[in-house]
Structures are given as C-alpha cells and as structure tokens.
Amino acid sequence: MGVTGAGKSYFIREVTGNPEVKVSRGLYSYTSKVQSYSFEYEGAKITLVDTPGFNDTEKSDTEILQEITAWTTTTYRQGQLLSGIIYLHPITHTRMEGSAMGNLRMFRSLCGQEALSNVFLTTTQWSRVDRTEGEFREDNLREDGLWGGLIGKGATLQRFHGTRESGLELIRKLMLNRPERLDIQDQIVEKRMTLFETGAGQCISEELVKLVEKYEGELESLRKRYQEAMEAKDREMGEALATEREETRRKLASAEDEKAKLAKLYEMEVERRDEEDRKSLKGIRKLKKSGSSREVIAIATRDIAGTAHFTETFTSYTTRGRFVYDINNEEEFESITFELAISYDLNSSNFPVDTRTIREMLFTGTGNTNYISLDGICYRCRSGAPITRGGQAFLIFRRS
C-alpha cells in the first residue's frame, strides 16, 4: 500500500518476476483495482496484493478505500488473513504533504492495533538520493508526528533497494508472522458497520471536512487579494489571482463532491443493511414460530457501550442480538444478528437514582429489570455473569 508513485507495482513485478505487472510512470497509476499475484518461494505459495495508490489522479481516496475494503472483507469471509502489509514511501520525497499524513492516519485505522506488528513501513527509490541525505530523511520519518507513532505500536521501518533480493528479504521476514485480522475486517464483517462508520471511513470524512474548510479560507483570502489588486490597477497580479482562484474553486468543488458521495454511500449502505436485517429477522421469526419455546436472545457484551446509562429520559438502549436455541452450541452464537432494544422497567423503585451504567447493571446480575420485547414476547436478562462462547462474552435474555 502507499501513495501513487511509491513503487507498489514495481515491487511486485521485481519480487514475483511477473512481466505482466504494469508499472506506473510519474503520477499516473496503472493500478485501478486491487489485484493479487502469486508465486512459489521456499516451498510456500506467496500472494502479493497490489492496491491502487492514495492521492490518485483518477480515483478519490474514498473509491480506493472501497476497493481495498471490498477485497479484504471478501478474503476475510473466506478465512484468509494477511501475514503482513508493506506500506511504501519514496525516500525522494523531501516532506510529507498534509494529504499523505491524512492517508497515513486512515491506514493506521484500517489496520488496527493488533495488525500493526505485521506492518513494514518501507522506503523506496534509494538509488535516486545521496545515501547521507536519504538516511537523514529516514531519521525524520521516525518522528512521532510521522511514522513514530506507528513504530511505537509495533510497525517496523524497512528499506527496499529496488532489487528482487531486497524484496524477498522483506517477504522472508513476513513469512514468520502470525496472520492477523485487520480492524476494518472486524468492523465490516463482525460488527456490520458501514464504510463510513469504520475508523478508516471516519478518517476520510474528517480529512474532507478539513479540505473544504481549507479551500473556503483560501478562496476568501484570494477574493480580498484580487480586490486589492484591482483597486491598485495591477492587472497582471489580478489575472494571476483570478487563475489561482478558479483552481481553488475546482479543488473545493471536488472536495465537496467527494464529501457528498461519501454521505450518499453511507445512506445506501445503511439502507442495504436495514433490508438485510429485515429479511434475516423475518426468516428468524419464521424459524422461531416453527421451533420450541426454549430460545433465548444472546447479546455480545462488546456491543454494549461501556458508558451508556438508563436515565429518566433515556429508557431503552439499541444494540444487536441473535436467537440461540442451544446455549451449549458455540456455532449458534455466530448466527445472524438483528437490531433490538434493551428496555428498563419504569416500575423499578431504584430507576431514578440508579447511577450504574448499563454494563454494570447487566454484568453484576442486577439487570433483571431490563428486558427485550419482541413479537409480543418479553425476554429478561438472566441473573449471573455473562457466559463465554467462542472467546466472546454474551448476556442471555430468557422468556419471562
């Protein structure tokens, strides 16, 4: 992964020896979609995945994140995890632009804490710089404001010298890693978030807001300078400022357009998720009617916010749960979830003064005043601590 022109496709072509891998020239990228290339190495099948570069001239960062997310979620559902991610950065770049910093934050959110130990922050194009100057720039990348934060969380700094052997040395190191799940895979597949709701999606949204504010500020400044130039009858300066203003307007329109597309994408994904929920819940209810009355509702404790409270004005909490018919069967705890609301019994005498969080009430077994009402049936939280299935803790609500 990395920005356009960092050498991602070149790295893959050199390491795999595959001449079909197209390499970009300058700022224009050949890689428009995620593509994988496999080869045999030291008795193992190695698959390298080429991704479109951020800051692409043809695609927005939102579209690129969509491409990467689609591939990672598909492979995750197939049981495939990544042994490593090589993030490439040209050592020829004298400084890291603001957009590159934003992409780095998005990259960090995409990976998550657990996967950072499998990340190689790799500098490229060493043959194009003086060695001393390159090492100076490499040291700068170690600063906390740049790569230092990622390195402190487990990522390692590496170099790619443009040769097959240099690339294979990185591959050898990655082969020793334990494959890890990315945060975005967990968020999309397990937590069923939309792209906008993920950490990486939020990073893009925040960067777009900053860009819009930046260009709006620049336009206002250019307007004032243009007016001053006109008053001073400086025609040449006025023409230059007018050209710059038009370019800034174009950038502002592009940022606003991408912001609108991200919002529209969010609406579409929420609508699709809601439709999936309606279909799955309809099927679950049909199955429930034909089954026994022993079903319970299981809610993963991680789906309950740690700071959420019931108050006099807030008497229900929306989360997700699943029907389970045999609490000793771990596979049932991996079934499809649906949206539901945990309600608080208003007749409870301690309601106005209870300052405990929802988690505290449920986890300590004092949440028997909490219930779920579904299809006219009331399910109450069973007393006792949560049960653990498949490495996750679940709260159990039984028919009352």
> For residue range 274-330, what is the model confidence (pLDDT) as tens digits?
887 777 666 666 655 555 556 889 988 877 765 555 454 456 778 888 888 888 888
Q: Are residues 239 and 364 in the same domain?
A: no
Is the whole-model pTM more than 0.75? Answer: no
Task: Indicate the pLDDT class of residue 351, thresholds 50, 70 and 90.
Answer: very low
Task: Indicate the pLDDT class of residue 354, thresholds 50, 70 and 90.
Answer: very low
Task: Indicate the pLDDT class of residue 366, thresholds 50, 70 and 90.
Answer: very low
Q: Which domain holds residue 101?
A: 8-190
Q: Are residues 104 and 184 in the same domain?
A: yes
Q: Are residues 376 and 324 in the same domain?
A: yes
Q: Are residues 221 and 82 in the same domain?
A: no
**Average pLDDT, rounded, for the chain:** 84
**Final residue of a structural domain among 190, 211, 246:** 190
**Final residue of a structural domain among 171, 190, 209:** 190
Determine what percent of the chain is predicted with pLDDT higher than 70: 83
Cβ–Cβ under 8 Å, residues 277 and 261: no
Q: Are residues 134 and 84 in the same domain?
A: yes
The answer as to whether 3 is a domain residue is: no
**Final residue of a structural domain among 190, 214, 231:** 190
What lies within 8 Å, CB to CB, of 6 at 6+ separation is 53, 88, 89, 90, 124
Q: Are residues 377 and 310 in the same domain?
A: yes
Task: Indicate the pLDDT class of residue 190, thresholds 50, 70 and 90.
Answer: confident
What are the pLDDT digits (tens) for 25-67? 655 566 678 899 999 998 899 999 998 877 766 778 888 899 9
Q: Are residues 63 and 186 in the same domain?
A: yes
Q: Which pLDDT belongs to residue 173? A: 94
How many domains is the chain built from?
3
| Three-state SS at 137 | helix
| Residue 148 DSSP code | I
Task: Indicate the pLDDT class of residue 346, thresholds 50, 70 and 90.
Answer: low
Q: Are residues 157 and 179 in the same domain?
A: yes
Place of tokens 């927005």: 60
Residue-wise over 187-203: b if at least 16 C-beta within 10 A, else e? bbeeebbbbbbbbbbeb
Cβ–Cβ under 8 Å, residues 334 and 390: yes
CA–CA separation, 126 and 161 (whole Å): 6
The answer as to whether 374 is a domain residue is: yes
What lies within 8 Å, CB to CB, of 365 at 6+ separation is 383, 384, 385
Angle in degrees, 0-180, between the axes of helices 199-231 and 235-290, rounded to the nearest 10: 160
Q: Is the pLDDT of residue 230 over 50?
A: yes
Q: Which element (helix H / strand E) includes 106?
A: helix 98-111
Q: Are residues 152 and 210 in the same domain?
A: no
The answer as to whether 111 is a domain residue is: yes
Whichever domain contains 88, its CATH number is 3.40.50.300
Task: Give the tokens for residue 186.
Answer: 């967990």
The answer as to whether 2 is a domain residue is: no
The answer as to whether 227 is a domain residue is: yes
The answer as to whether 131 is a domain residue is: yes
The answer as to whether 1 is a domain residue is: no
Q: Which pLDDT belongs to residue 214? A: 94
**Beta strands 85-90 and 119-124: pairing type?**
parallel
Q: Are residues 23 and 150 in the same domain?
A: yes
Q: Are residues 133 and 183 in the same domain?
A: yes
Q: Are residues 28 and 151 in the same domain?
A: yes
